[in-house]
Structure 1
């Protein structure tokens, strides 16, 4: 089945595209790629089969490669791109340094605040311990013991740090503070 180019739409398309793209490759010349050998002409055999002729000998490669020449637009774009990337790298390094300094300052502030909080808590605990020890020496009554226990308890339910319900225990301590148990004996 023979197709000629006048009736074959693919052949027409390829011919049109080759005409349009013929001048594009002239801008870029590369010395690293050898020149392509021309396509071997086709011979029609006796049965109508198309067979290629023997390929023509390839031209001998040049001893020195031709340096690659880029178009001016591509060269300028590469230079601009390189400059943009360098600017972005510098900006990234600058921001990293700023973030490190900010993080270092925040960490120092947190450690300072934490140390102040711990020292205040230690001082309050020491004062409470001294008061408790001095109060024990003075108090020998049962009611005073329950008063001291009541001082250590937080009776405001809103301030309570526990998540458990301690209302029953609070009410029991308040009852014992107001009406201490009678010592039998």
Structure 2
């Protein structure tokens, strides 16, 4: 007998090794449990009661066993805890509600923008029509003034065409120099 066989042999009457080896007992227990898992015919993980094909021995007993693959598949196929499933459902419901709200808000914004754009176009068209009407009236007045070519009324016509009001906010350019030149010409006309 070699040294290793002596450890596994039943103890002689001297009391040394009279207890069972705990490591060997543990290994034997694990092997029997794994064998029980592999050979358990009533083992069902799926809700339908079927044993997943990944847990059945597909290689006919040849080669290494898929005990670890079977255990990992069993872990993955087990139902998740109730609290986690409830949280996932609540989270999904919350996200769906947020998506619905954002879709509603987007459609409301689109409708509001559409209405505002239509109102803006209406105001622009109204302003354009007013400007056209004012320009036509001013053009007709200018043409009628051109037809009345009375001598001595030249400066009145110039004054009507030029805005000599210094407080006028319509003009962005400084026309004070042109205004002063026209006023000086009116007061002392050029002699030919």
RMSD: 3.3
* Larger of the two Rg values belongs to structure: 2
Give the aligned partner of residue 83 of structure 1. 93
Q: Is the aligned partner of 1:153 residue 2:162? A: yes
> 3-state DSSP class of the match of 2:140?
helix
Contact 1:155 1:170 in 2 (8 A): yes
Query: What do the CA deviations read for 1:7-56 (whole angstroms, capped 9, x no partner)?
Result: xxxxxxxxxxxxxxxxxxxxxx9xx9x9xxxxxxxxxxxxxxxxxxxxx9
Give the aligned partner of residue 71 of structure 1. 81
Q: Number of aligned pairs?
A: 131
Between Structure 1 and Structure 2, the one with more helix by share is 2
Relative to structure 1, the CA distance from residue 138 to residue 162 in structure 2 (aligned partners, 3 Å threshold; closer, same or farther) is: closer
Higher relative contact order (CA 8 A, sep 6+): 1
What is the TM-score when the length of structure 1 is the normalising length?
A: 0.58
Give the aligned partner of residue 169 of structure 1. 178
User: 1:126 Cα shift?
Assistant: 0.7
Relative to structure 1, the CA distance from residue 138 to residue 97 in structure 2 (aligned partners, 3 Å threshold; closer, same or farther) is: same
Give the aligned partner of residue 27 of structure 2. none
Give the whole-Å Cα distance in 2 for the aligned partners of 1:154 and 1:136: 18
Q: Is the aligned partner of 1:181 residue 2:192? A: no
Relative to structure 1, the CA distance from residue 182 to residue 164 in structure 2 (aligned partners, 3 Å threshold; closer, same or farther) is: closer
Give the whole-Å Cα distance in 1 for the aligned partners of 2:90 and 2:118: 42
* Partner residue of 1:101 out of 89, 103, 111: 111
Relative to structure 1, the CA distance from residue 59 to residue 181 in structure 2 (aligned partners, 3 Å threshold; closer, same or farther) is: same
Runs of at least 5 residues in structure 2 that lack an aligned partner in the other structure = 1-44, 46-51, 55-63
Query: What do the CA deviations read for 1:54-100 (whole angstroms, capped 9, x no partner)?
Result: xx9762744xx542411000100010001111110111011111111
Runs of at least 5 residues in structure 1 that lack an aligned partner in the other structure = 1-28, 35-55
User: 1:127 Cα shift?
Assistant: 0.7
User: 1:146 Cα shift?
Assistant: 2.7
> 3-state DSSP class of the match of 2:101?
helix
